[in-house]
Chains A and B, each alone.
Chain A
Amino acid sequence: MLLGVSVVVFAMVRAIPGDPAQILLGQAATPDQVADVRARLGLDQPLITQYLLFIRGALTGDLGDSLVVGQPVTTVLLERFPATLELTLAALLFAIAVGVPVGVIAAVRQYSLLDKITSVVALTGVSMPIFWLALVLVVVFTVRLDWLPFPGRVGGDVAFTSYTGLYLLDTLITLNFAAFWDVLRHLILPAVALGTIPMAVITRMTRSSMLEVMNEDYVRTARAKGVVPRRVVFRHALRNAMLPTITVIGLQFGLLMGGAILTETIFGWPGVGQIALESVNRRDYAMIQGVVLYGATFFVLVNLLVDVLYAVLDPRVRY
């Protein structure tokens, strides 16, 4: 799978028109200089050699130097990744914290007004262009209400030492609560914007799998035994209903990473998504290659994790 991904990434990046050596040197470069840089970048090697070098590099964490920034791609990615991770996790947390309870309530009270409203709102959430939602959130919560800051990850006057790159964690372990509060406030809008579509998807999935499970024999048995309704819902039904929901959550990661590009662009969030767009605009081969390869790898790994989680949660699944 990952091998296939690497071939596709390599092929796609090579298919991008424009000679990176030429771009690097600018229009004024002499052909000799261009040839020299091409040799240094390994671009004069046969494609298959280039691919093998690329694979060897990818496995050892060496993806070459970014043509534009001049730093190793891996360094740039590692530096940027925590910002994206923090944003993505916060968005996912928001999506789960809202999506699962609302889905459960909607299912338990099927056909109630609340259920109908939930269904419509969830479908609206799925249809929302997140770049628009992000802008509207800024209009409402920053401009109109002046509750939350925009843009960036942290206010200019806030100082703290960063160890992990996850600012929430950094400010927490250094017990710098003022900074923690500032970082948290910066995080809310982008996380909500990014988390809305996954939230809607999770709500829909939780609702429908809860409905299915609530009709199962073991739920009826539990009810007949006189188990209190709350326990039936949480203990008997929800645990089983969570399985499809978890699959969906895993799949949302791809969406979140795509959405991160839009969200980061709007909120001036210094993450991987921002650099993905930048590197495309500047034809930074090595950087695009790295971003796409790691993006896909991360996505595949998350889904692998979901499969493992499945086996843990569902005794019927054994590998």
Chain B
Amino acid sequence: MAEARLPKGSGGGPVGGQDLAAPETVRTRSRWADVRQTFVSNRLALFGLVVITLFALMAIFAPWLAPYDPVRDQFLSERFAGPSAEHLLGQDELGRDILSRIIYGARISLTAGLAAVTFATVGGTIVGLIAGYAGGWTDAALMRLMDVLLAFPSILLAIVIVSILGQGLTNALLAVGIILLPQMARVVRSAVISVRERDYVEAERAVGASNYRIVSSAILPNSMAPLIVQATLALATAVLDVAALSFLGLGARPPSPEWGAMLTDAFRSGFGVFTEGQHAIIFPGIAIALSVLAVNFIGDGLRDALDPRRRR
């Protein structure tokens, strides 16, 4: 597990600027310019950013880009027809255009992943802030609860949560949000604890700032770096897990062109998919793998850029 590391210097903190750790060479660039520089010089991270941007554009402009309707345009006689000029990625078990379904699926799969991570990040930040800032038994109780949640194999926990909430995409992404929440809480908590006793927080307290003000102006901004990295990496997991739940029939339901659901629909249509419908398996999977890979590249790049100790 990547431990949260202290951000060197401070982005928006009141007493920012130079930190105790003296840089080997004098840098005159600002911290964020520096981060950007490091990130951009990482070719894999840049590649990830390009891929994700393309997927995002695909999702936004789906109605204009997709040659067919993802659900209604069924050509039953062309079941599992291979890639052709009319259907670049071939057709699925109901003769629907796979390319169009993947394009529309980007809307569902990526939004669901993003929503799950947003839920986990907001929830985890709140839990982590309270635990780290309050300390004592509040901290102990909250973190024990998080440990218990982490003790479950994540997909298994997600499955049980979905069965409580009921099947469906919204509940599936909530379940994924819940299983991702503990790790976000841990990252925020350790970041909070590491800055809690800093002088600038002490200074805020000395001038009589309220707890809310101390947290929002001094602690939160200085805990951002590890949180951003963790959230990005969690997005990769979220997209995968939402797709996995849909694949198990617990998330998006047919005829939704969600990528995991596309795979399960093809798989459940019988053994024929393995012989005639191979493209119906391969392409939706590539969409999932490629988007997750891109997000992972970005996350790794951000981690290297935000953590000066990992620079090469």
On whether the beta carbons of B156 and A292 are closer than 8 Å, the reply is yes
Given that A1-B147, A143-B275 are known contacts, is A292 also in contact with B160, CB under 8 Å in the complex?
Answer: yes
Q: Counting CB contacts under 8 A, is B263 at the interface? A: yes
In the complex, the chain B residue whose C-beta lies closest to that of A6 is B148
Given contacts A139-B281, A143-B274, A261-B248, contact A12 B267 (CB under 8 A): no
Q: Please judge, given known A-B contacts A1-B148, A143-B275, whether A132 and B289 are in contact too, CB under 8 Å.
A: yes
Contacts of B157 in A (CB 8 A): 292
Closest chain A residue to B152 by CB distance?
A: A296
Q: A127, B159: Cβ atoms under 8 Å?
A: no
Q: Is the CB of B160 within 8 A of A288?
A: yes
Judging by beta carbons under 8 Å apart, are B247 and A261 in contact?
no
The interface residues of chain A lying within 8 Å CB-to-CB of B295 are 127
Q: Is the CB of A276 within 8 A of B289?
A: no
Chain B residues, CB < 8 A from A128: 289, 292
Contact (Cβ within 8 A) A292 B281:
no
Among A120, A131, A283, the one with the most B-chain Cβ atoms within 10 Å of its Cβ is A131
Is the C-beta of A254 less than 8 angstroms from some C-beta in chain B? Answer: yes
Is the beta-carbon distance between A15 and B164 smaller than 8 angstroms?
A: yes
Q: Pick the interface stretch among B72-80, B208-216, B236-244.
A: B236-244
Interface centre among B144, B153, B250, B284 (most CB of A within 10 A): B153
Inter-chain contact B300/A123, CB cutoff 8 Å: yes
A119: nearest chain-B partner, CB-CB:
B44
Instruction: Encode A1-39 as 1/0 by CB contact (under 8 A) with B.
Output: 100110010001101110000000000000000000000
How distant is B300 from chain A, measured CB to nearest CB, in Å? Answer: 7
Is A262 a contact of B151 with CB atoms below 8 Å? no
State which of A142, A143, A261 has its C-beta within 8 Å of the C-beta of B156: A261
> Which of B44, B154, B248, B282 interacts with A139 by CB under 8 Å?
B282
Complex CA distance for A15 and B145, rounded to whole angstroms: 18
Bound-state Cα–Cα, A212 to B157, Å:
35
Q: How far is the CB of A142 from chain B (nearest CB, A)?
A: 7
Contact between chains at B44 and A129 (CB < 8 Å)? no
Nearest-Cβ distance from residue B38 to partner chain A, whole angstroms:
17
CA distance A262 to B243 in the complex (A): 11
Q: Which of B273-303 contact A (CB under 8 A)?
A: 274-275, 278, 281-282, 284-285, 288-289, 292-293, 295-297, 300
A257 contact from B153, B164, B244, Cβ within 8 A: B153
State whether the Cβ of B260 lies closer than 8 Å to any Cβ in chain A: yes
Does A305 interact with chain B (Cβ within 8 Å)? Answer: no
Residues on A with C-beta less than 8 A from B250 are: 280
| A136 adjacent to B248 (CB under 8 Å) | no
- Quick check: A299 and B151 within 8 Å, CB to CB? yes
Find out whether the CB atom of A261 lies under 8 angstroms from the CB atom of B292: no
* Contacting residue for B159 out of A8, A253, A255, A277, CB 8 A: A277
Residues of chain A lying within 8 A (CB to CB) of residue B151: 1, 4-5, 296, 299-300
Contact B166 A131 (CB under 8 A): no
- What's the Cα separation between A255 and B289 when bound, in Å? 18
Contacts of A129 in B (CB 8 A): 240, 243-244, 247, 260, 263, 285, 288-289, 292
CB <8 Å contact, A132 and B148 = no
B138 at the interface (CB under 8 A from A): no
Say yes or no: is A291 at the interface (Cβ < 8 Å to chain B): yes
B243–A254 touching, CB < 8 Å: no
A120 and B44 contacting across the interface, CB-CB below 8 Å: yes
Asked whether B46 is an interface residue with its Cβ less than 8 Å from the other chain, the reply is: no
* A125 CB to nearest B CB, Å: 10
Shortest Cβ distance from residue A288 to the other chain B in the assembled complex, whole angstroms: 6
Within 8 A of A (CB), among B158-172: 159-164, 166
Known: A129-B260, A138-B274. A255 touches B160 (CB 8 A): no
A254 CB contacts on chain B under 8 angstroms: 152-154
Taking a contact as CB atoms under 8 Å apart, the answer to whether A262 and B164 are in contact is no
Q: Say whether, besides A120-B44, A127-B292, A295-B156, A12 and B149 are in contact (CB < 8 Å).
A: no
Cα separation A295 to B284 with both chains bound (whole Å): 31
CA–CA, A136 and B288, complex, Å:
14
Cβ of B159 and Cβ of A132 under 8 Å apart? Answer: no
Q: Which residue of A lies closest to B294 (CB)?
A: A127
Measured CB to CB, the closest approach of chain A to B210, in angstroms, equals 34
Q: Which residues of B contact A130 (CB under 8 A)?
A: 244
**B residues neighboring A (CB under 8 Å):** 1, 44, 144-145, 147-149, 151-157, 159-164, 166, 236, 240, 243-244, 247-250, 260, 263, 267, 274-275, 278, 281-282, 284-285, 288-289, 292-293, 295-297, 300
28 contacts between A and B (CB under 8 A): A5-B151, A5-B152, A8-B149, A123-B44, A124-B289, A124-B293, A126-B296, A127-B292, A128-B289, A129-B285, A132-B288, A135-B281, A136-B282, A257-B153, A258-B156, A261-B155, A261-B159, A262-B247, A262-B248, A277-B248, A280-B160, A280-B250, A291-B156, A292-B156, A292-B160, A295-B152, A299-B152, A299-B153
Additional A-B contacts beyond A128-B292, A131-B247, A296-B151 (15; CB < 8 A): A8-B149, A129-B288, A131-B260, A131-B263, A132-B263, A132-B285, A135-B267, A139-B274, A143-B274, A258-B155, A261-B156, A262-B155, A265-B248, A276-B159, A296-B152
Taking Cβ atoms with an 8 Å cutoff, the residues of A that contact B are 1, 4-5, 8, 12-13, 15-17, 120, 123-124, 126-133, 135-136, 138-139, 142-143, 251, 253-255, 257-259, 261-262, 265-266, 276-277, 280-281, 283, 288, 291-292, 295-296, 299-300
